[in-house]
Structure 1
Amino acid sequence: MTTGLYRFRARLIAALALLALLANLAPGGAFAAPSISTQAKGAALMDVASGRLLYSSNGDTPMRIASLTKIMTAIVAIEHGKLDGMVKTGKRAVGKEGSSIYLQLGEEMSLSNMLYGLMLRSGNDAATAIAEHVGGSEEGFVHLMNEKAAMLGLTHTQFRNPHGLDEEGHFSSPNDLARLAAYALKNKDFAAIVSTRVKDVPNPHEKWSYRWQNKNKMLAMYEGADGVKTGYTKKALRCLVSSATRNGQKLVAVTINDGDDWRDHQQLLDWGFGHFPLRTLAEKGQPIQGITQVAGQPFRYPLEESEAAGIQSKLELIPAIGERFELGERGKLLFYLNGSLIGSIPVYEPDSPLLTAGG
């Protein structure tokens, strides 16, 4: 068989096999997910692993975001600082207006503990101290924040400070905040901090320790909740980013200027888990019918039932040269939803060492 015929046959078989698999995903007929709404000025809901935006209302509109800013502050500090390094509180941090953990001038605390104060109690003094420690100055740290926003493709976001107090030119959008939170939640240190309900931290001034209770009530009121951050200023009003994990799927919800945010977030998350569960399109090692190769990785994607018929696949072969070919890689299987690429996985020979090594 010629190479061209082999490729055509392989692609056809792979597509047919995938469609047969997907036919079992929607028993009882397909349906469209019902609409949902919130009281928010802007809102978004995203599947964290895939980055798929499941719901958006005014999602790309720049808005004041209050202490949701601290999501970026925390992840930049984690990535650029040392968690066991000691942060010394300077003059600009002491007595910072708004929410506070009441740091004293010259007080030292590990960056790790300072981040708990930042995210659980929304300490504006902690934000300033962290910024000066990690960035050399508050201005230097804000530069790192905007640099990170550009790297993540947050095109409707601009930071002017590390704490979120109202300032002209300081804004983000619901969709950008969902992308930012999804990115940050993949960092184990960030995820551990924002999922903590209560944190005890050594107090250098007294015999008793600081005890910080998380302001995020979703952690106690919603099954599977594991983050992320509250926010409020007189101009931004109530803001909230929450996350939750159920059945191996993590979702992140965002609302800005929402007077009923606790209720809206529960409804958004329920709607997402109910109508866009993760569907398995391939398992690692799964044979591809008609050819000898197998799927090199699992592939799961959030889909509502009516979307199963819109899934297509395409097999792309790699040249028969190079180290990865020698190790048994033969190409990749690309997945499309209604013509748009949603992901891909490698295709290996069944005895490939890449299969056992995880690719």
Structure 2
Amino acid sequence: MRSKWINRVLSVALLFTTLTTSVSYTFSTAYAEEAGASTQQSAQSGVSWPEAPEISAGNGILIDADTGAILYEKNAYTKCYPASTTKILTGLLTVENCGMDETVTFSRAAANSVTWEDSNLATKVGEQYTVEQALYGLLLYSANEIAYGLAEHVGGSLENFVEMMNARARELGAVNTHFANASGLYDPNHYTTAYDMAMIARGCYNNSTFVNIDSTEDTYTIGPTNLTGESRTFRHRHQMLKGRPMYYEYCKGGKTGFTDQSGFTLVTFAEKNDMRLICVVFNCSDSNIRFTDTRTLFDWGFDNFKKITASSDTISSYFSGSNYYQSAVYSRYPENFSLSASTLTIPNHANVSDITLAVNENYTPEEIDNAYTTGIRFKYGDNTVATSLLTFSKGTAHTDNRLPYLSQDADTETVQPRWCFSISIWVIVAVFAAVVILICFIRDYQMSRRRSLHARRHHRRRR
């Protein structure tokens, strides 16, 4: 009798283990798909990333300007000194805040802000340029006194403009950056990262006025001014533009830089077919290395990646309960949002079904126009293939029927999870196992009683 019970308990235990393993695998798989667990996705889907080339630069990154996808990175989050690549943000702020025909009058501080070894156009105290002329001198010739003069014109003072630079950098996603001047001259408190500079460059590349100036291949001439009788003609210092020694046919401009502390630096824009890429390389030991490294990364990016469009339904399937409702963002910020179709940059061999989504909890939401914004990342394995901002509006009920687990109290502005009954899968398995054991026990007990009664009757007959 005892051996039978041991066998039965072992059978139930085996059934329990088998069921637990099956349910656990199913539940874990579903959870991974819902949460966007890139490591599990990688194991299940064979997610792989194209083998990246080697570069000599100490720091580098390659991103898609449209999607924000990070295709390549090398020490991309390490503090660096950007040198004159800083001027792309000075130029962007000028474009965003000024008309091209406004007059810039150079103060004594601006005109005298350079030394003989600095890049400059010998601008005099009280000399006047249009904003357009100044921008060409800034972005093509990298004149430091023009950076100072534009800063004063846009911000009222260099100090105010630096505050504008740091605020705009944060808005563009540069969260580990601090600028101390408008030109990029060395200052220990003037630093960025390759990733942050790529985010700033993305804002520049998506501004058509900036690109029209920065992509100029031919010479540009500033004619006689109120204080200078002769014209000043110059060309872009970026050597990958047409007619330059390092010519690259897809180059659309960028910005060079150098100081003793930064080494040679470079930001470059390139476009081929429907793909626009941005490359940043810092800490290069030689001027030519920055151009050859940039070309290497561009060729690799254009050859190995493609753009796809994910429908709104697909995006909604990425945006699941596990990666949002259980995130720190949800617990702190009320929301009303919709999810639209999005463009992603993925390897040529990849499928849209391999994409996952994550709320970037390291990004501090900012309140703009009575709403919060935070970052979201589309992931292919461990790689970010697109980034976007998610906006949370206050005081409006959530209406997206693809996200059903929300309700709003009529007397409050806060959106809360709806009440629902939930039970752990392990409780279900344990109850099931207990029921099986109980049934077995009852059945054996009943059979034992029947055998006992049968034995008594048989004994009475024999007597």
TM-score by shorter chain over 0.5: yes
Structure 1 residue 335 displacement after superposition: 7.8
CA contact (8 A) 2:345 2:385 kept: no
> CA 1:94–1:178 in 2, change beyond 3 Å: closer, same or farther?
same
Which of these residues, 125, 128, 150, is aligned with residue 170 of structure 2?
150
Which of these residues, 300, 307, 314, is aligned with residue 350 of structure 2?
307
For 1:207 and 1:169, the matched residues in 2 are separated by 39
CA contact (8 A) 1:311 1:335 kept: no
Q: Deviations over 1:196-247 (max 9, x none)?
A: 1221222225565321200001112001211110000111110000111000
Q: Find the counterpart in structure 1 of residue 258 from structure 2.
A: 232
Which of these residues, 284, 291, 301, is aligned with residue 262 of structure 1?
291
CA contact (8 A) 1:41 1:58 kept: yes
Structure 1 residue 267 displacement after superposition: 0.5
Q: Find the counterpart in structure 2 of residue 37 from structure 1.
A: 54
The higher relative CO (CA closer than 8 Å, separation ≥ 6) is in 1
For 2:308 and 2:169, the matched residues in 1 are separated by 30
Larger Rg: 2
Paired residue secondary structure (1:33): coil
4+ residue stretches of structure 1 with deviation over 6 A?
A: none
Q: Find the counterpart in structure 2 of residue 216 from structure 1.
A: 238
CA contact (8 A) 2:265 2:282 kept: yes
CA contact (8 A) 1:310 1:338 kept: no
Q: Find the counterpart in structure 2 of residue 52 from structure 1.
A: 69
Paired residue secondary structure (1:74): helix
Which of these residues, 69, 91, 96, is aligned with residue 79 of structure 1?
96
CA contact (8 A) 2:264 2:290 kept: yes
* Residue 180 (1) aligns with residue 200 (2): yes
Q: Find the counterpart in structure 2 of residue 319 from structure 1.
A: none
Which of these residues, 184, 187, 191, is aligned with residue 164 of structure 1?
184
Q: Find the counterpart in structure 1 of residue 220 from structure 2.
A: 199
Corresponding letter in the other structure for 2:89: M
For 2:304 and 2:290, the matched residues in 1 are separated by 21
Q: Find the counterpart in structure 2 of residue 246 from structure 1.
A: 272
Q: Deviations over 1:283-327 (max 9, x none)?
A: 9xxxxxxxxxxxx9875422113321643699xxxxxxxxxxxxx
For 1:234 and 1:336, the matched residues in 2 are separated by 38
Corresponding letter in the other structure for 2:97: H
Gaps of 5+ in 1: 1-28, 284-295, 315-333, 345-359
For 1:219 and 1:118, the matched residues in 2 are separated by 17
Q: Find the counterpart in structure 1 of residue 301 from structure 2.
A: 272
> CA 1:306–1:189 in 2, change beyond 3 Å: closer, same or farther?
same
Q: Percent identity?
A: 30
Q: Deviations over 1:252-295 (max 9, x none)?
A: 00000112111111101001111112235569xxxxxxxxxxxx
Structure 1 residue 156 displacement after superposition: 1.2
For 2:295 and 2:386, the matched residues in 1 are separated by 27
> CA 1:312–1:148 in 2, change beyond 3 Å: closer, same or farther?
closer
For 2:356 and 2:175, the matched residues in 1 are separated by 31
Q: Find the counterpart in structure 2 of residue 21 from structure 1.
A: none
CA contact (8 A) 2:47 2:354 kept: no
Higher helix share: 2
* Residue 138 (1) aligns with residue 158 (2): yes
Q: Deviations over 1:312-353 (max 9, x none)?
A: 699xxxxxxxxxxxxxxxxxxx98745989579xxxxxxxxx
Paired residue secondary structure (2:261): coil
Corresponding letter in the other structure for 1:238: F
Paired residue secondary structure (1:238): strand
Corresponding letter in the other structure for 2:268: S
CA contact (8 A) 2:151 2:161 kept: yes
> CA 1:309–1:136 in 2, change beyond 3 Å: closer, same or farther?
closer
Which of these residues, 112, 129, 139, is aligned with residue 132 of structure 2?
112
For 2:355 and 2:75, the matched residues in 1 are separated by 30
CA contact (8 A) 1:228 1:242 kept: yes
For 2:94 and 2:349, the matched residues in 1 are separated by 42
> CA 1:90–1:237 in 2, change beyond 3 Å: closer, same or farther?
same
Q: How many residues align?
A: 286
* Residue 122 (1) aligns with residue 142 (2): yes
Paired residue secondary structure (2:256): strand
For 1:86 and 1:109, the matched residues in 2 are separated by 6
Structure 1 residue 102 displacement after superposition: 1.4
For 1:151 and 1:185, the matched residues in 2 are separated by 15
> CA 1:264–1:342 in 2, change beyond 3 Å: closer, same or farther?
closer
For 1:61 and 1:313, the matched residues in 2 are separated by 27
> CA 1:196–1:309 in 2, change beyond 3 Å: closer, same or farther?
closer
TM-score by structure 2 length?
0.57
Structure 1 residue 31 displacement after superposition: 7.0
CA contact (8 A) 1:336 1:343 kept: no
CA contact (8 A) 1:70 1:164 kept: yes
Gaps of 5+ in 2: 1-45, 313-338, 358-376, 389-463
Paired residue secondary structure (1:306): coil
